[in-house]
């Protein structure tokens, strides 16, 4: 039986005389979470993973704060022939969402950059 690493789950499976197989996705989730939490103090002045995710979440909030901004992102994506995907949000219980966030950011980089330029020049953006 496939389970997470919870002691209660492992014991229940053993007590039922099944073979315990630890879920690989759950183990990856724990590795990603522990890695991201373990980088809080960079000693060489480098930007940490935690700081990058914090900045990403702030940007995500900007795009999710209004329907108008979200619509403008979709229009900019269409204009630049970029896949019309939403900016992804991290979901703590899904390890792959933390992994996929930067991938989506790279995919949407041109549209986000164009919108940032519009905002800096006070054109059309709130």
d(CA 123, CA 110): 17
The token duo for 104 is 């989506």
* 59, 53 contact by CB (below 8 A): no
d(CA 95, CA 5): 15
* pLDDT tens, residue order, the chain (126 aa): 888 878 888 899 889 999 888 888 778 777 777 776 665 555 566 667 777 777 888 888 888 888 888 888 899 999 999 999 988 877 776 767 777 888 888 899 999 888 888 776 665 555
SS3 of residue 74 by DSSP: helix
């Amino acid at each position: 039986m496939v389970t997470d690493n919870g002691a209660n789950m492992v014991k229940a499976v053993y007590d039922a005389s099944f073979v315990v197989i630890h879920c690989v996705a759950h183990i990856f989730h724990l590795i990603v979470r522990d890695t991201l939490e373990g980088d809080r103090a960079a000693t060489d002045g480098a930007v940490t993973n935690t700081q990058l995710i914090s900045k990403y979440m702030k940007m995500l909030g900007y795009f999710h704060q209004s329907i108008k901004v979200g619509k403008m992102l979709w229009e900019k994506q269409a204009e630049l022939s970029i896949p019309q995907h939403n900016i992804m949000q991290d979901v703590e219980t899904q390890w792959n969402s933390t992994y996929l966030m930067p991938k989506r950011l790279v995919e949407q980089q041109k549209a986000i950059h164009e919108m940032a330029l519009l905002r800096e020049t006070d054109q059309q953006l709130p």
